[in-house]
A and B are shown apart, each in its own frame.
Chain A
Amino acid sequence: MGLDLSVIARNSNVLWGGFLTTLKLFGIAFAGGLPLGILLGLGRLSSKKWIYYPVSAYINFIRNVPLLMVVFWIYFALPIVTGHNIGRLPSAVIAFIVFEATYFGEIIRAGFQSVKKGEMQAAYSTGLTYTQVTRYILIPIGLRRVIPSLMTQTIVIFQDTSLAYVIGLREFVRASTVVNAREVRSLEIFGFVALVYLVICLAGSTISNRLEEEGE
């Protein structure tokens, strides 16, 4: 057998294209998931029942369902709702935002809860409104406390994007299976894919660990 690494070079354009799709998916999912997560985190701490219960139900529902099923579900549900076939990438993006926001939401809630009561009371007593307290106290202080956990979750999202594979979106893993179907060099191809993920995620978790140590 022997290793034939030229298979990577020969198919670099397909793999690179897949990798770019992965990055795109990851970037949009993160950019959409974090703000929604902040809203969910706020909702989980809301004293208004009509906010708290629906938000909690949404979070508990999504967190008990496999991501793979959410990806499928949204993919099959969207055409029913919209009446159009909206394509794989938008569908995957929505699925990841809907899913990852719940994980972000729970992390962020913990961050908000770590803000001391006194700080909040002090803010209110200076005459700030709820929105101002949220904007200037809760989010800056609470979010900063959970940056390491958010980083870890971000790495998880990066890995999770590989699941768009199941709806046929040609992201990195799908692209590699396309190449493998042609070349039948699974060791080199999947080994390469694993290595790329490993290097990126290791770098990410090293940064996250360092942030955590600095925080303590």
Chain B
Amino acid sequence: MKSRGQLPALHFDKMGYQFDWGVIIREPYWRWLLNGFIKTLILGSISWGIALFLGIIVGTIRTLPAKTARAIGKAYVEFFRNIPLLVQLFFWYYVIPPMIGQWFNRMESLPWIMAIFGLGVYTASRVAEHFRSGLNSVPKGQRQAGLSTGLSNWQLYRYIIIPYGFRLMIPPITTEFLTIFKNSALAMTIGVLELSGQSYKIGTWTFHSFESITAAVIGYLLIGLSIIGFMGWVEEKLKIPGLVGRG
């Protein structure tokens, strides 16, 4: 048999590679994969909550009449969009915690906290852009009609612009929701054992990285396809009859 103890990718000889798909279902590896799958779901979902909340705020700020407010919103978006997520995660994980304090830096769940936070604030910048363009696509007439019936600015947003614009955003926001799960794979680089991290770990334990990575890829496909299905259903439910014939 082949020598063990080398890097997985280096362990090939002229005899070729022996596939062993059993590593995916064998103890304890299938448990690791399942565990990683669940962690990916949790990581993506919580970050998504942050991204949506922050993104709506920043996106709304970018449509306000005040110039300074718009500049702040724009700065946020440009800053987070133009630095690779990987670098951002390193920043959150290696740079920020020691500044907060040793008690924080030594926390066991630090990778988790920083991955969720980093993924959330990053995705918020992308959500904000979709939100802004959704709000801006509400016809001017609607805005004027709202104001002329005596609505305040807050009421205008609450009752007209947000409910209206939000429906227009569903397709791009769906894409973003998908993307956050894909991007969550980067959390493995700061030590979170989510789906990609677990599959990588299985590879280093068994020297069957190709099989374990394939299993993780299928996991991500499952998540992606379910989201597409779910959001299609949401879009159907929220449709205003006679409006927005998007599909």
How far, in whole Å, are A190 and B9 apart by their CA atoms in the complex?
29
A72 touches which one: B84, B196, B224 (CB < 8 A)? B196
Q: Known interface pairs A76-B9, A76-B203. Does A173 touch B17 (Cβ–Cβ under 8 Å)?
A: no
Q: Known interface pairs A69-B217, A77-B210, A191-B95. Does A85 touch B83 (Cβ–Cβ under 8 Å)?
A: no
Residues of chain A with a CB closer than 8 A to B94's CB:
180, 186, 190
> Taking the complex as formed, is A150 at the interface, i.e. its CB lies under 8 A from any CB of chain B?
no
> Taking the complex as formed, is A165 at the interface, i.e. its CB lies under 8 A from any CB of chain B?
yes
Nearest to A67 among chain B residues (CB) is B182
Complex interface bits, B57-94 against A, C-beta within 8 A gives 1, otherwise 0: 00000000000000000000011011111111011001
Complex interface bits, A169-198 against B, C-beta within 8 A gives 1, otherwise 0: 000010001001000001100110110011
Q: Known interface pairs A79-B12, A186-B94. Does A69 touch B185 (Cβ–Cβ under 8 Å)?
A: yes
Least CB distance, B161 to chain A, in whole angstroms: 23
9 sampled A-B residue pairs with Cβ under 8 A: A72-B196, A72-B200, A76-B8, A79-B12, A80-B17, A159-B82, A162-B84, A187-B95, A205-B81
Nearest to A187 among chain B residues (CB) is B95
**DSSP majority for the A interface?**
helix
Least CB distance, B33 to chain A, in whole angstroms: 13
Instruction: Determine if A66 and B82 form an interchain contact, defined as CB atoms under 8 angstroms apart.
Output: no
Question: Total A-B pairs in contact (CB under 8 Å)?
Answer: 113
What is the interface residue range for chain A against chain B?
A: 35 or more
> Taking the complex as formed, is A212 at the interface, i.e. its CB lies under 8 A from any CB of chain B?
no
Residues of chain A with a CB closer than 8 A to B217's CB:
65, 69, 73
Instruction: Determine if A205 and B86 form an interchain contact, defined as CB atoms under 8 angstroms apart.
Output: no
Least CB distance, B163 to chain A, in whole angstroms: 28
> Taking the complex as formed, is A118 at the interface, i.e. its CB lies under 8 A from any CB of chain B?
no
Sample of 13 further A-B pairs with CB below 8 A, known A66-B220, A76-B210: A64-B182, A65-B220, A72-B196, A75-B9, A84-B12, A85-B12, A160-B84, A166-B189, A173-B86, A186-B95, A197-B82, A202-B78, A205-B81
Instruction: Determine if A73 and B90 form an interchain contact, defined as CB atoms under 8 angstroms apart.
Output: no
A68 touches which one: B9, B185, B210 (CB < 8 A)? B185
Residues of chain A with a CB closer than 8 A to B79's CB:
198
> Taking the complex as formed, is A163 at the interface, i.e. its CB lies under 8 A from any CB of chain B?
yes
Nearest to B178 among chain A residues (CB) is A64
Q: Known interface pairs A73-B214, A79-B12, A205-B78. Does A165 touch B86 (Cβ–Cβ under 8 Å)?
A: yes
> Taking the complex as formed, is A2 at the interface, i.e. its CB lies under 8 A from any CB of chain B?
no
Instruction: Determine if A197 and B196 form an interchain contact, defined as CB atoms under 8 angstroms apart.
Output: no
Q: Which of B76-124 contact A (CB under 8 A)?
A: 78-79, 81-88, 90-91, 94-95
Least CB distance, B59 to chain A, in whole angstroms: 18
Complex interface bits, B1-36 against A, C-beta within 8 A gives 1, otherwise 0: 000000011101010110000000000000000000
